[in-house]
Amino acid sequence: MCLLSMCLHQFDGEFHVADFRAHWQLLVLCPRENIIIWFCSIRRKPDVHIKFAVNNAMKEICSNLQGKDNAPPPPPQWIEAKSHVQQGPYECGYYVMHWMWCIVSAGLKNELHNYFSDGTALDTDTMTTIRKKWAAYLLEVGKWM
């Protein structure tokens, strides 16, 4: 099992990638803390429909974690990570792959938004490297299936 697979098993949140209006964005759900971290490479705010659906899902997840006898959980806290900002029209997928790789490979579990405060664009070498890392990872996982 490769390092990323081991880290994914230890990660205490859930990754959800959304293609909304032809733009990839990343949601990291942390149900134990009742927190949602929103990553968008063009700093777009989450759409009200996405927030509504995710809030309802988190309410159900948190209720199941707490047990049915407890009071309903409060709405989750939404945190918008202020990370890298893309400059071109098509790189958003690379940014999502970069954020996921950084979170999992570094074993980040708490206050993820504090680790992502660089507002610069990713350079071509970084995007090429992240693409190669994910390709190698997916080929490795494919061997186990």
Which residue did the predictor score with more confidence, 132 or 18?
132
pLDDT tens digit string along 36-55?
A: 889 999 999 998 988 998 89
Q: Which residues contact 84 (CB under 8 A, 6 or more apart)?
A: 41, 95, 98, 116, 118, 119, 120, 121, 122
Model confidence pTM above 0.85 = no
Q: Where are the alpha helices (DSSP H) in 67-121?
A: 92-105
Taking alpha carbons only, the member of 98, 100, 101 closest to residue 126 is 98
Mean pLDDT of the chain: 80
Count the domains in the chain: 1
Domain residue limits at 125: 3-144
pLDDT at position 20 is: 67
Radius of gyration (C-alpha) of the chain in whole angstroms: 16
CATH code for position 86: 3.40.395.10
Task: Give strand ranges (E) for the chain.
Answer: 14-19, 24-30, 35-39, 77-80
